[in-house]
Amino acid sequence: MAQTNKKETPLTWDVFTTGLWKENPVFVMMLGLCPVLAVTNTVENSLGMGAATLFVLVCSNALVSALRNFIPKQVRITTYIVIIATFVTLVDYIIQAISLDLYNKLGAFIQLIVVNCLILGRAEAYASKNSFGKSVISATGMGLGFALALVMLGSVRELLGSGQLLGIRIFSENFEPWIVMILPPGGFIVLGCWLLLINYVHQRKTESLINQDAAASHCSVPQQH
């Protein structure tokens, strides 16, 4: 039996930007941390995994949304997994054809996109309940937010771990690389530092808004003589 759709909210700019910052998959929702911590030792790996995840997320959400009225509720999760696995297989062959070196660096994490909770979660919670256009736009924002987080981690880890970015030396030859940054513990350290910085900025912004509201309320109260 076809799924019944609830009344959808209108398409706004927030549908795209939400995944970039407000509900960033890594820094806010903490989803898909396995590849985030494993492959972000260089910017190249981060870009490759980010692009692969973006492709699978957008394509799978688009197809799930297009077929949402025809997928029986009883087998929806199985159907979503089959759709996701199809696009993962496709992107796996594409990366292998474009760059065998990048393919070997990413290793099994390309295939593990199938079980990435971000991909399946967006298919179940959003694409299956919203129109094709909204699903594609939302998935694009989420995918770019995920890729942005990967690059933010990868750039710091590669810079401190080898003194270069994308093969271009940034620090002098006298720089002593922090080997820990290109090892698994470095992923946890850099992720923790980014989370600390982002939460600090968010807290300061919230406090600023509260102070502005308090000042506006004080000025709006009429003075009695």
- Residue 219 inside a domain? The answer is no
Dihedral angle of Cα 205, 121, 151, 110, to the nearest 10 degrees: 170
Among 4-13, 118-127, 150-159, 192-201, which stretch is predicted with the lowest mean pLDDT? 4-13
pTM > 0.75: yes
Q: Average of pLDDT values for 131-160?
A: 95
Mark residue 175 as left, alpha or beta (left: phi above 0; alpha: psi -120 to 50; beta: remaining). Answer: beta
The answer on pLDDT for 205 being more than 60 is: yes
pLDDT given for residue 7 in this prediction: 57
In this structure, is residue 132 part of a structural domain?
A: yes
Give 89-95's long-range contacts (Cβ < 8 A, gap of 24+): 91/52, 91/55, 91/56, 95/48, 95/52
Res 10: pLDDT: 72
Local confidence band at 213 (pLDDT 50, 70, 90 cut-offs): confident
Q: Is residue 224 over pLDDT 70?
A: no
Q: What is the pLDDT of residues 66-113, one digit of tens each?
A: 999 999 999 999 999 999 999 999 999 999 999 999 999 998 899 999
Q: How many domains does the chain have?
A: 1
Q: Is residue 9 included in any domain, yes or no? A: no
| 142 has a pLDDT exceeding 80 | yes
Domain that holds residue 23: 15-198
- DSSP letter at 21 equals I
pLDDT at 22 over 80: yes
Quick check: is 82 in a domain? yes
41 within a domain of the structure (yes/no): yes
Please check whether residue 96 lies inside any domain of the structure: yes
Distance CA 198, CA 188 (A): 15
Bridge partners for 164 per DSSP: 169
212 in a domain, yes or no?
no
User: Is the distance from CB of 84 to CB of 120 less than 8 angstroms?
Assistant: yes
Tens-digit pLDDT profile for residues 1-13: 444 445 566 778 8
Measured CA to CA, the distance from residue 132 to residue 134 in angstroms comes to: 6
- Give me the residues paired with residue 169 across strands: 164
pLDDT reported for residue 66:
96
- Look-up: residue for tokens 């299956």? 128
Residue 225 lies in a domain: no
Q: CA–CA distance from 18 to each of 46, 91, 130, 140, 202 (Å)?
A: 21, 25, 16, 10, 15
Average pLDDT, the chain: 89
3-state SS string over 133-195? HHHHHHHHHHHHHHHHHHHHHHHHHHHHHHCEECCEECCCCCCCCCHHHHCHHHHHHHHHHHH
